[in-house]
Amino acid sequence: MDFNRIAPYFERLEKIVFNNQMECCRTAFLPELPSVKKVALIGEGDGRFLVELLKDGKFEKVHYIDSSQKMLELARKRMQKFSPDTLRNVGFYHRDLISEPMPDQNYDLVVTNFFLDVFDEHSLNESISKIAASCKRTAIWLYADFQVSGGILQRAKAFAWIKVMYVFFRVAAQIQSQRLIDPSKILESNGFQLKTMKEFHRGLMKTELRQRI
């Protein structure tokens, strides 16, 4: 998978297609997150969520993790521009989670925004287990992604949208997966139970707050 080529256009593309809905989805639970020590933002991309997360000053150490060097550079530049005072709290890790380990252990909070949908079933299982193993016993998992839900018409529309997006991202970023896989069961089997969720863009996307109990 290679998001380098589309990294500079990612934000613009998202806004053209979904206006501000993906950003609303990513940040919906930010005010509800507790103040914790160590956070991992995995597949964080161009760093927009990172900057928002750091505004609250609730987190001691934040690890940015992404396999795209271009995305990492964009995120670092964004931090330098919008949040230079908090740069010392952030560790940037250029990592491919399929082949490499998590950079650290004992995370209190992990965030995967529009990230798990790039994996096929095998890698999804492996990645979630790897991330879960790096978390503290009562860790929180904040997750945002697309979904197919609702009545027949809503499901048909979602299915069509998601099909188009997969065709695009398979060509533009060589993503592994050919279809959207619901990670709920894998998250649950790793102990992360759903606490609360919100839907956006007429149910096409959702964000979930999960915790290991």
Which residues of this chain interact with ligand SAM, rule CB under 6 A?
1, 3, 26, 43-45, 66-68, 71, 95-98, 113-115, 118
Handedness of CA 44, 46, 28, 107 (dihedral sign): positive
Task: Give min distance, CB of 68 to ligand SAM, in A.
Answer: 3
How many whole angstroms separate alpha carbon 66 and alpha carbon 42?
A: 6
Nearer to ligand SAM, 1 or 51 (CB): 1
Nearest 10 degrees: Cα torsion 19, 182, 52, 99 = -120
Q: How far is the CB of 71 from ligand SAM (least distance, A)?
A: 4
Q: At its nearest, how many Å lie between ligand SAM and the CB of residue 9?
A: 12
Rank residues 133 and 156 by Cβ distance to ligand SAM and give the closer one.
133
In the complex, least distance from residue 50 CB atom to ligand SAM, rounded to whole angstroms: 9
Query: By C-beta, is 73 or 157 nearer to ligand SAM?
Result: 73
Beta carbon nearer to ligand SAM, 60 or 120: 120
